[in-house]
């Protein structure tokens, strides 16, 4: 079973200076594959900083972030980039899609970056879109899609490499209630015995559907 273990994670911006800002103050926690986790906290609580550290987008000032025993802070930039492509999927509130490209072309990119041939990447992209029940959108430009359709494409793209960690940052924040519910079902349905799902959200209904709910306040889990 894959695990993600945080050991005394600290993050301070401008460390050692008069205007140093502590964002994370010693967070320790272990996440397990096959489970979904909701991370809740107000703006400025450290939520986004923690996601960036977990996702390998930022370095902690102190502490360890162990992915299956491998400390991500020990990896080179290229190793971290490859690990993100192969092991981590990201779903963002603003989708992070290229509007002029089709759903298929958006989904292909992570697979190609991870080393797949174009043929294999196309096959994996179609499988991921079928999992999200949107194969009919494959050729449609993203700019001609609704918010809910865009988010499903974003989830399909995040799942294409069968990541061990799926990070969703406010995935339903800009959607109406009915669409948000469908996206929540799609995300939670993506969890399997090999995948950890971590959702940062203000939506208490979505959080309640996760296996565990974590609250972050002033850089600490409370």
Write the pLDDT tens digit of every residue in 185-199. 888 887 878 899 999
Mean of all residue pLDDT scores within the chain = 92
Least confident of 27-31, 90-94, 135-139, 153-157: 90-94
**Structural domain boundaries of the chain?**
3-221
Considering the four listed CATH numbers 3.30.1180.10, 3.50.50.60, 3.40.50.300, 3.40.50.620, the one that applies to the domain covering 3-221 is 3.40.50.300
Q: Is the pLDDT of residue 100 over 80?
A: yes
Q: What is the pLDDT of residue 176?
A: 83
Q: How far apart are CA 177 and CA 122, in angstroms?
A: 32
Give the chain as a DSSP string.
--EEEEEEEEEEESTTSTT-EEEEEEEEEEEETT-EEEEE--TTSSHHHHHHHHTTSS--SEEEEEETTEEGGGS-HHHHHHHHHHHEEEEETT----TTSBHHHHHHHHHHHTT--HHHHHHHHHHHHHHTT-GGGTTSBGGGS-HHHHHHHHHHHHHTT--SEEEEESTTTTS-HHHHHHHHHHHHHT--TT-EEEEE-S-HHHHHTSSEEEEEETTEE-
CB–CB of 158/90 below 8 Å? Answer: yes
Q: How far apart are CA 203 and CA 80, in angstroms?
A: 31
Write the pLDDT tens digit of every residue in 143-175. 999 988 998 899 999 999 999 999 999 888 878
Q: What is the pLDDT of residue 190?
A: 79
């Amino acid at each position: 079973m894959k695990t993600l273990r945080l050991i005394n994670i600290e993050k301070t911006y401008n460390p050692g200076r008069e205007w140093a800002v502590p964002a994370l103050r010693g967070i320790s926690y272990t996440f397990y594959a096959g489970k979904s986790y909701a991370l809740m906290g107000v703006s400025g609580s450290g939520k986004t900083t923690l996601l960036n550290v977990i996702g390998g987008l930022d370095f902690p000032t102190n502490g360890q972030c162990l992915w299956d025993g491998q400390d991500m802070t020990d990896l080179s930039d290229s190793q971290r980039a490859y690990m993100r492509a192969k092991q981590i999927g990201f779903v963002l509130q603003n989708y992070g899609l290229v509007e002029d490209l089709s759903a298929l072309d958006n989904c292909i990119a992570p697979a190609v970056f991870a080393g797949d041939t174009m043929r294999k990447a196309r096959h994996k992209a179609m499988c991921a879109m079928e999992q999200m029940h949107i194969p009919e959108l494959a050729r449609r430009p993203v700019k001609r899609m609704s918010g809910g359709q865009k988010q499903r494409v974003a989830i399909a793209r995040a799942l294409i490499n069968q990541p061990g960690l799926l990070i969703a940052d406010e995935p339903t924040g800009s959607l109406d209630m009915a669409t948000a519910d469908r996206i929540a079902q799609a995300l939670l349905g993506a969890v399997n015995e090999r995948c950890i799902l971590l959702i940062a959200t203000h939506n208490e209904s979505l959080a309640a559907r996760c296996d565990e709910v974590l609250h972050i306040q002033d850089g600490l889990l409370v």
